[in-house]
Homo-oligomer: A and B are copies of this chain.
């Protein structure tokens, strides 16, 4: 049952056929942007398009990531698959999103020649079988084994316990006929840690399961209803030696194990997938803001002036307080994700050329931004939903689906707390390097630098003061965490125990570091934005709100060593309220600029034409239960209940 059906045909085709309604003018959208043309960010440029090409553009916008991601345009059986089921996942998605990239990065030339073209053409459909019932993010704990048998030159795959059962991979339940399996490699009586193996699951003739394989879906989930996430048990399944991904590590015919030159190169796919996740968080939050802000411009409620007409709820300061910071966050994450993609592309080239020195920085950036954006993105989507009142709870709003699509990002591809602690580990390394007199590269260079003890912020709250405050906070928390670790070690704790006892502090340090990145990158990005002066002014306001609100939300961390004072807090609070007033007339235009067609939002509340009540009513009318006036349960349950003897 799809909400799409409640949109009449002319609306389904996208916003180009809409009439511009009066309420939109009331929001003065044309003060900033320009009537009904569509404005889209491409990289850091704001570009105006004709509306005819909206769909095509949306897809290239979402997928403008890297060469691997271009494969995703062949996602499903149509380049338009993504717009056919927005905010759902495709069971074939893992084939293009993870199976193919794994082959490309881990396969030898022979292996790529054998499988890659088949996978691209969907002659075989693969998935990525890593997570087990008992293990997720901690890969070394995986229990599945691949034991080499030199007699037959085969690996024997086993899930030796219940908790070794592969669990969760997308498309694994009933769709995939191949997968790459992550398993502990045993050869010549020794375990060499986890490696990746190609496994055919099902017959290409009739899709029946091959011997030794038990597999199915894992059952109902919060979301991902369109995906057959599955489980997999392996009982002595034999695969040829050539099915081990051997670009880096190798097992020779006699069972001799050859180590890879550098184990870190295998991080590539992981970093790429995490960059997709950051992009996803930015897009999902932008969608939710679009729905909530458009609806708040349509919805009228209560009174501001006694006896006056009911105002748009977007005029309430409390509504602005909840929505505008999220709008600014959506913009901040857009730019963060763009930066991450570019960094990935740049560093990837270096890695291909054998230079790995930038990899730790990239790895920490990917892990940190993945955690930071998915936490804030999913919590923000729920705030948007709750800001739509009761109707936000209906699937007609489109918001519940966006939430359940975004929130697992906090868990998959590396649990967020673990990710933050990986960032912290990198920061502690940087801190030690600095103490040893080394210069730190790029973005982390602020760590351990001498800094002002007190902010010079005044009531203007300049970008310079904002960035200095975030730098000071992150540097202080990193310093604190390092000190705390040190003090535990000095009092006799082993390093691992000191780490665990300091991990809340380490988490907070990593979080502050990621926050600083998003703030500084937002400021840098809009400085480089090629837009007209009006648009630039608006983007500056949005950016300033992001910085100001972030300080106020975490005020204690900025005040704890008196870097900011109560007086500064007052400046910031006043500035925030001023920014709400300034942003109010541009708010609808700012979400329109994300350029989501109605077809993608699938929301009665976020419709471009503002006809929300008619859409909600139409949605209700179409519910299957409304097809008969008296429901069958009346005869089976209600009537017997009503006619039963007194129950008192």
Contact = CB atoms under 8 A, between A and B. Distances in A.
Interface of A: 1, 74, 77, 92, 117, 120-125, 131, 133-138, 141, 162-163, 165, 167-168, 173-175, 204, 206-209, 216-224, 228, 231, 300-306, 310, 315-319, 321-322, 379, 382, 386, 389-390, 392-396, 400, 407-408, 410-412, 415-418, 421, 494, 496-497, 500-504, 507, 552, 554-562, 566, 569, 577, 613-614, 616-617, 619-623, 625-626, 629-631, 633-634, 638-639, 641-642, 644, 646-648
Given A122-B642, A123-B642, A217-B623, A556 B561 contact: no
A536 to B, nearest CB: 28
A1 B379 CA distance: 29
B302 A141 contact: yes
Nearest to A322: B417
A625 B220 contact: no
B395 A620 contact: no
A626 B216 contact: yes
A625 to B, nearest CB: 5
Nearest to A616: B133
Contacts of A131: 390
A410 B393 CA distance: 11
A570 to B, nearest CB: 8
A513 B526 CA distance: 40
A408 B393 contact: yes
Given A163-B613, A317-B501, 6 more contacts: A92-B641, A133-B616, A209-B629, A219-B394, A392-B411, A556-B559
A313 to B, nearest CB: 10
B559 A216 contact: no
17 contacts: A77-B644, A122-B644, A137-B302, A173-B626, A174-B634, A175-B638, A207-B638, A219-B620, A221-B393, A222-B393, A318-B417, A318-B504, A318-B507, A321-B507, A386-B410, A555-B560, A561-B566
A410 B623 CA distance: 26
A365 B20 CA distance: 45
A123 B629 CA distance: 20
A418 B322 CA distance: 13
Contacts of A503: 316-318, 321
- The 5 A-B pairs of least Cβ separation, nearest first, read A555-B556, A216-B626, A222-B400, A220-B395, A138-B302
B500 A122 contact: no
A162 B123 contact: no
Contacts of A394: 218-222
A162 B74 contact: no
Given A167-B616, A222-B400, A394-B220, A121 B77 contact: no
A297 to B, nearest CB: 15
A395 to B, nearest CB: 4
Nearest to A299: B134
B634 A207 contact: yes
A321 B504 contact: yes
A402 to B, nearest CB: 11
A278 B131 CA distance: 39
Contacts of A322: 417
B566 A134 contact: no
Given A316-B500, A501-B577, A77 B641 contact: yes
A122 B648 CA distance: 10
A621 B216 contact: yes
Contacts of A620: 167, 216-219, 231
A646 B121 CA distance: 6
Contacts of A165: 613, 617
Given A504-B317, A577-B504, A208 B136 contact: no
Contacts of A74: 647-648
A390 B644 CA distance: 46
A421 B304 CA distance: 13
Given A219-B620, A393-B411, A630 B206 contact: yes
Contacts of A557: 555
Contacts of A407: 382, 386, 393
A556 B569 contact: yes
B552 A556 contact: yes
B633 A174 contact: yes
Contacts of A122: 641-642, 644, 647
Contacts of A207: 630, 634, 638-639
Contacts of A630: 174, 206-208
Nearest to A310: B141
Contacts of A417: 316, 318-319, 322
